[in-house]
């Protein structure tokens, strides 16, 4: 699932925070997964401190989602969000065979645009 915005977040205020969610999907529940994933992106956008998201999934079902946040408190609040909690439980129950989540502070950024 790609977010509706351009797939790369253009420029961040640093320091900011990043949550790196790397995962492998189960081979089931595609329709429910797509619906819940899209809903979570839409909901995340409404949260205080949300700065952007980049998400990629390959043909083998391995995905990386990077979400960017103003501070660590915003990440904690999003983790504790009620509807997000339901999605997390569905994730462990049905959507993901494995996942790893890393909470990080972004300290430097560089970029390049060919055009």
- Residues lying near a copy of itself in the complex (CB under 8 A) are found at 2, 7-10, 12, 18, 20, 22-24, 26, 54, 56-60, 62-64, 66, 72, 91-92, 96-115
Q: How far is the CB of 49 from a copy of itself (least distance, A)?
A: 16
Q: How far is the CB of 77 from a copy of itself (least distance, A)?
A: 15
With vertex at residue 36, the alpha carbon angle to CA 16 and CA 72, rounded to the nearest 5 degrees, is 20
Q: How far is the CB of 29 from a copy of itself (least distance, A)?
A: 13
How far is the C-alpha of 71 from the C-alpha of 43, rounded, in Å?
Answer: 18
Q: Which is nearer to a copy of itself, 44 or 75 (CB)?
A: 75
What is the phi/psi pair of residue 4, to 5°? -65, -25
The answer to whether residues 76 and 103 touch, using CB atoms and an 8 Å cutoff, is no
3-class secondary structure, 90? helix
């Amino acid at each position: 699932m790609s977010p509706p915005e351009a797939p790369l977040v253009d420029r961040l205020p640093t320091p900011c925070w990043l949550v790196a969610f790397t995962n492998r999907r189960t081979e089931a529940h595609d329709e429910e997964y797509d619906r819940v994933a899209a809903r979570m992106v839409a909901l995340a956008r409404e949260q205080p401190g949300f700065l952007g998201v980049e998400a990629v999934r390959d043909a083998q079902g391995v995905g990386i989602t990077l979400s960017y946040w103003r501070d660590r408190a915003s990440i904690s609040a999003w983790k504790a969000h009620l509807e997000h909690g339901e999605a997390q439980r569905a994730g462990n129950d049905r959507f993901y065979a494995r996942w790893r989540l890393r909470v990080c502070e972004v300290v430097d950024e560089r970029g390049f645009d060919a055009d």
